[in-house]
Amino acid sequence: MMTVRDRGVDPSDASRRAQGSASADVSPAAGLSRWKWQNAYVKRLYFTDVVVVVLSVLLAQWVRFGYEELLLAGEGADLEYSLTSATLIGAWLIALSLFRTRSRRVIGAGYDEYQRVVSATIGMFGAIAIIALVADQKIARGFLAIALPVGLAGLLLTRWLWRKAVARKRSRGEFQTSVLVVGGARAVRHMARTFERKDGEGYRVVGVCVPSYSGAPGDVIDVDGREITIYGDERSVVEALQLSHADTVVVTATETLGSEGLHDLIWQLEPLETDLVVATGVVDVAGPRIEMRPVAGLPLIHVEKPSYHGAKRSGKRLFDLAFASVALVVLAPVFAVVALLIKLDSRGPVFYRAERIGLDGEPFGMVKFRSMVTDADTLVDTLMSRNEGAGVLFKLKDDPRVTRVGKVLRRFSIDELPQFLNVLRGEMSVVGPRPPLRREVEAYDGRVKRRLLVRPGVTGLWQVSGRSDLSWDESVRLDLSYVENWSMVSDALIIGKTVKAVLASDGAY
């Protein structure tokens, strides 16, 4: 629940109250400290980039041409490949800079940062191959075949390690981006809660300027127990920045400010070390579907329609078949051991078939390893009073129906591995929304029914975002976000995060 509180004090000390509230959220030098740690971070990235690129190229030359030729650049081919190595190192580092892989907009951002590193590396090697072909210069394929994968893997690994270091800092309240929101109470609530869920991103709302605000500066908005200070209206942004020590302004009230108001704000912020971000108001629509196009001199945001059919969907199906086939072959010994343990632990079948609703509302039997007693379904009514699940879901952390072996299977999601059989049969996908129960689907409204436009998944955003700990609304939001924005790249990232979530047993019971 969020309310605006008027503390009822004299306006003359509003600035002191505002500054006191701000200091509770962020240090007085927050704006400057952000630039300080970012500059230091960029320098470390550059250092590790140089080390990785140099070592990978030297390793490629050593493996391909030998130790002596690496140390002694003599005549002919030796000198030629030493110059080639030096050129490759220089070109690689230049490409990483041209693709802005160390931009403050993407450092520590994960996917965007990795994508730029991959694009820079592949683009540079492609350009070298084309130049060598046009200039009729032969470059040993083994040389490039070693330098490219080794260097790219090293660059991605070091970026990942640096990102983990930043995440640890942010978990301790360091390396934060302090945000001043220009918008209404609803926008503040949405921003603050979204940033709280994604605390690894390092954003924190420390103040708000409410358009046409008529109250006293220094009043607060309570968001789930955390007070966020109101510093005035849309004309108080510069003063609010000084009081709150924010380093980023997020404008959500674009309609209220208008074009002239936004231009005035841009000019006011120009001499300051402050970023300006304009929120589009488009919720849960991913970047690839958003494109900025100038129309009649106006920068308009175009939102492409989501894709559920055609080549993209066929590619997903081919990926599902290949992944599920390999997974079942590799996991065959695990299946045998689990089946034996289930039989030794309790009477009943090894597998359990549970009805779920799939693509276009078609029911199917989802296969799982049995983790409960055989008459578990008949005991639901007697346990309903202890239900801890979200919405229409029945969940119980200490469920008496779960067997001893079943507790281990459920903790590490081993009971869900047979669902790859459903993938082969075309009833499920490797990645997708959570497989819903019939009673869930019967309670869907028109918006939630969009979950049925794609096949349910063995894993998905719900699996890597808390699983059983999620609220019903959050589960629905994640499923709809996936349906609207899925891509093969996002599927690969979700699969990688699933391994981590399963090993950590996050939200599993």
Q: Give the Å distances, CA to CA, from 440 to 279, 366, 368, 392, 455.
A: 33, 16, 19, 6, 16
What's the rounded mean pLDDT across residues 82-91?
A: 86
Q: Are residues 225 and 141 in the same domain?
A: no
| pLDDT tens profile 240-289 | 888 888 888 888 877 777 777 888 888 888 888 788 888 766 555 555 56
Residue type, position 95, single letter: A
- Name the H helices within 294-388: 311-330, 332-345, 380-383
Closest CA to 293 of 285, 305, 301: 301
**Residue 299 falls inside a structural domain:** no
Tokens (6 digits) for 265:
């704000």
Q: Are residues 486 and 365 in the same domain?
A: yes
**Residue 305 falls inside a structural domain:** no
Domain total for the chain? 3
Q: Are residues 128 and 211 in the same domain?
A: no
**Residue 251 falls inside a structural domain:** yes
Closest CA to 151 of 61, 65, 38: 61
Which residue among 144, 171, 198 closes a domain? Answer: 171
pLDDT tops 90 at residue 55: yes
| pLDDT tens profile 190-214 | 888 878 777 667 788 888 998 888 8
Q: Are residues 76 and 160 in the same domain?
A: yes
Q: Are residues 449 and 463 in the same domain?
A: yes
Q: Are residues 165 and 251 in the same domain?
A: no
Q: Are residues 155 and 110 in the same domain?
A: yes
* Phi, psi dihedrals of residue 61, rounded to the nearest 5°: -65, -40
Quote the CA–CA distance of 419 and 463 in Å, as a whole number.
Answer: 14
Give the pLDDT of residue 128: 84
pLDDT tops 50 at residue 21: no
* Phi, psi dihedrals of residue 461, rounded to the nearest 5°: -60, -35
Q: Are residues 394 and 255 in the same domain?
A: no
Range with lowest mean pLDDT among 227-241, 413-427, 478-492: 478-492
Give the pLDDT of residue 294: 67
Q: Are residues 228 and 86 in the same domain?
A: no
Which residue among 238, 259, 279 closes a domain? Answer: 279
Of 29-38, 96-105, 484-493, which one has max mean pLDDT?
96-105
pTM, 2 dp: 0.62
Which residue among 171, 197, 214 closes a domain? Answer: 171
| pLDDT tens profile 405-455 | 988 888 888 999 999 999 999 999 999 988 888 888 887 777 777 788 889
What's the rounded mean pLDDT across residues 471-482?
A: 77
* Beta pairing class for 429-431 and 457-459: parallel
Spatial neighbors of 430 by CB under 8 A, at least 6 apart, are 319, 320, 323, 324, 420, 423, 457, 458, 459, 491, 495
The answer to whether the beta carbons of residues 351 and 418 sit under 8 Å apart is yes
**Residue 156 falls inside a structural domain:** yes
- State the pLDDT confidence band at 132, using cuts at 50, 70 and 90: confident
Q: Are residues 332 and 474 in the same domain?
A: yes
**Residue 303 falls inside a structural domain:** no
What CATH number is attached to the domain comprising 267? Answer: 3.40.50.1980
**Residue 301 falls inside a structural domain:** no
Q: Which residue range is the domain that position 57 belongs to? A: 32-171
**Residue 297 falls inside a structural domain:** no
| pLDDT tens profile 171-191 | 777 788 888 988 888 888 888
Q: Are residues 213 and 166 in the same domain?
A: no
Quote the CA–CA distance of 85 and 410 in Å, as a whole number.
Answer: 52
Task: Give the rounded distance of the alpha carbon of 119 from its chain centre.
Answer: 19
Q: Are residues 133 and 192 in the same domain?
A: no
What's the rounded mean pLDDT across residues 49-72?
A: 77
Determine what percent of the chain is predicted with pLDDT higher than 70: 75
**Residue 347 falls inside a structural domain:** yes
* Location of structure tokens 């260097």: 151
